[in-house]
């Protein structure tokens, strides 16, 4: 059984990491557990660089807390703002003792009311909860799930990036 440490206690991130590993390496057995670590960036990361830094900070902190593992995974969601729009995306970083991989999710754009709340200082999950009248959506279906009526849940949004971040592990002879 290979041990995956996810740098978050969010059940969606833990499940996304586990599912991505299981899809890429179906003949292997994995267990995933989350550890609580700080991202070291804003509560709502803005921009590609800050979001990537948050994923990296999380991964490194998880390695320090839980050094006995086969893999460590950092997932950080963020927003990329322009004058009149805001794109949601996330970075996934994965390390083992000998290899590293990273990938970014696809992106999608937020509606004006949610953008307004994020610009007022709310985290995206809080803004979603306000607009949709729900609670703790970031640990369930997330923005993508709320906006697509669960066609693209937060889990389904993250898993492809986990799979893509595992390419260097799957094709280690090329990396």
- Domain annotation covers residue 148: no
- Establish if 111 belongs to a structural domain: no
- Provide the domain limits for residue 42: 2-106+155-174
Beta carbons within 8 Å of 134's beta carbon, 6+ residues apart: 128, 146
Q: In the chain, how many domains are there? A: 1
List pLDDT tens digits, range 72-131. 999 999 999 998 999 999 999 999 999 999 999 999 999 999 999 999 999 999 999 999
Question: d(Cα 112, Cα 172) in Å, to the nearest integer?
Answer: 43
Residue 144 lies in a domain: no
Average pLDDT rounded to a whole number, residues 36-59: 96
- The CATH number covering residue 87 comes to 3.90.950.10
Q: Average per-residue pLDDT in the chain? A: 96
Residues of the chain by 3-state class (helix, strand, coil), percent to 5: 45, 20, 35
SS3 assignment, position 11: helix
- Binned at pLDDT 50, 70 and 90, residue 139 comes out as confident
pTM of the complete model = 0.95
pLDDT at position 138, please?
85
Average pLDDT over residues 19-30: 98
């Amino acid at each position: 059984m290979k041990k995956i440490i996810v740098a978050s206690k969010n059940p969606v991130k833990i499940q996304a990491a586990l599912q991505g590993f299981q899809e890429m390496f179906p003949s292997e057995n994995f267990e995933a557990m989350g550890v609580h670590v700080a991202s070291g960036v804003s509560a709502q990361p803005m921009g590609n660089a800050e979001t990537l830094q948050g994923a990296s900070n999380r991964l490194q902190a998880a390695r320090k807390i839980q050094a006995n593992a086969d893999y460590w995974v950092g997932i950080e969601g963020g927003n990329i703002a322009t004058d009149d729009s805001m794109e949601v995306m996330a970075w996934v970083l994965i390390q083992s003792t000998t290899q590293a991989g990273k990938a970014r999710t696809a992106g999608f754009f937020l509606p004006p009311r949610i953008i307004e709340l994020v610009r007022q200082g709310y985290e995206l999950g809080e803004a979603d909860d306000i607009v949709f009248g729900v609670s703790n959506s970031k640990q369930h279906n997330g923005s993508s799930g709320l906006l697509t009526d669960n066609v693209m849940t937060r889990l389904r949004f993250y898993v492809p990036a986990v799979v893509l971040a595992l390419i260097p592990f799957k094709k280690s002879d090329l990396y």
